[in-house]
Amino acid sequence: MLRKTTYLLLLLGSFACIYMSSCNDDDSFTTNASSKLSFEMDTVRFDTVITTVGSSTKRFKVYNNNSEGLRITSVSLESGGSSGFRVNVDGHSGNMLTDLEILKKDSMFIFAEVTLPEVGSDVPTLVRDKLLFTLESGVTQQIVLEALGQDAIFIHAPRISSDTTWGGSNKPYIIYDSLIVDKDVTLTIEEGASLYFHSGAYLGVYGQLVCNGSLEHPITFRGDRTDKLFPYLPYDRTDSQWGGIILYPESNNNLFDNVDIHGGSYGIDCPLSVTPEYKFFIQNSVIHNVLGHGLRAYYCIGQVLNSEISNSGENCVSLIGGAYNFVHTTIAQFYPWKADYGVALYFSNIENETAYPLEQANFYNCLITGSSLDEIVGNRIEKDDVAFNAMFDGCLINIKMSGDEPESIKNMFIGSLNETADSKNWNKDDNGEYDEDIIWGKRNFLKVGEGVYVYDFGLSEKSRARGIGKNAYTSYCPIDCRGVSRPTVNADAGCYQYVANE
């Protein structure tokens, strides 16, 4: 019995030695200077960061690909933290961390963020720091941290109660809790100004808004997030990042010249007007990528020249009664964020059983298309005494018609080219389906989506909009939305003139 017990103890002791040897081997650490860390990236770059406002958090890994563990005697910011960068290493935060370990073939997470102090400049300024890793061997390695710091003008719950001019600085205005322009008051925004609205904030105009942008220095209305939702997708390329612009019933003579409005819950919304004057003049401008309507007007008077209205969760343009002229305007509906979305153009003389006479809705040399065969919808009350007047001349359009419409409806479109009407002449693929790049209007443009939600509604070489514009209307917009001169004869429809090899 004693022999068996002794043998068992010796056997267990052998297993313990083997186990301990194995553990010791796993936990062995090297001080060899050739054994180093590997980094997921050598430079961590933040998008433009508004100074004094915290950034989003970047996450990356540090690897030990060696056959033995590594001891890190310190991880520190070269600046000591004065740059505004902050890091968390393997669950530990601070400007100087000590006595860390990474076992062989293991890794650790590092989280970095930054709150930059004011940089004292109107233009973005590069701020750099280094995250230093000092190993037990004495070797020091580094990761570079970079951010573009942008000073801004912060405005909380602003109310414009006297005539005011904004501009003259490259610093963006950061708007919290919405911006209101009082009745009988004018807010003038000068060229190059950028208004960044916090989530949910909007611009409400009871008085007058005058936006004097220029081709070289447009005025921008957008959300205030400057980081990315995904590595390939900036928040600025998504919708619903802020509210939008509301021109209230008593507001009139609002000017949008060389203005870029994008990423909102809606673009420009005009409730029922109580003034007989023009509600809006929009020219050389873009309204793009909004959750609701791009431009919605209830019984207003308005004019849109040389502009792009594109990608809206509801309709790109909705006109309910009123009088409007659109000249050399591109209305393109390729909204990417949901399957059930509106059309490029909707016009009506009735809403919620209330008649709103549509005195005129004229479209001259316009391009109205999108991701379906039917991008123009008209809704008419069956009463002859309620005006329903629209005309499309020199336009490229997508509208599906049965052929049984009354002559008054057919005559609205007689002066324009309807791509949908030509679908019977297009080739089908092996499955008997039309090629969507042809039938859905995509072929008219340079970029539609491109997998990363990038859009360029400049004309492609094969666009049917080329050369179909009527000469009588080109004089109203002799230069396109990007500064390209239009020919006086056979100009292209839409806001962009085709440029070869663009």
Tens of pLDDT along 478-489?
999 999 999 999
What pLDDT does residue 2 have?
41
Average pLDDT estimate for 202-230: 96
What percent of the chain has pLDDT above 70? 91
Confidence band for 231, pLDDT divided at 50, 70 and 90: confident
355 residue type, one letter: A
What pTM value is reported for the model?
Answer: 0.89
* Cβ atoms of residues 343 and 318 within 8 Å: no
Mean pLDDT, the chain, integer:
91
> If pLDDT is split at 50, 70 and 90, which confidence band does 405 have?
confident
pLDDT in tens, 440-474: 688 899 999 877 999 999 999 989 999 999 999 99
pLDDT at 100: 95
pLDDT, residue 51, reads 96
| Backbone φ, ψ for residue 469 (5° rounding) | -65, 145
- Max CA pair span of the chain: 117
Q: CA–CA distance from 337 to each of 289, 437, 451, 499 (Å)?
A: 9, 19, 12, 30
pLDDT exceeds 50 at position 207: yes
**Residue pair 446/502 in contact by the 8 Å Cβ criterion:** yes
pLDDT at 298 over 70: yes
Please determine, for residue 416, whether its predicted confidence score (pLDDT) is greater than 60: yes
Question: Using CA atoms, how far apart are residues 2 and 307, in angstroms rounded to an integer?
Answer: 99
12-16, 46-50, 389-393: which is most confident: 389-393
pLDDT-derived band at 429 (thresholds 50, 70, 90) equals low
Name, in order, each residue with C-beta under 8 angstroms of 127's C-beta and a sequence gap of 6 or more: 83, 84, 114, 116, 119, 146, 147, 148, 149
**Residue 43 scores a pLDDT above 90:** yes
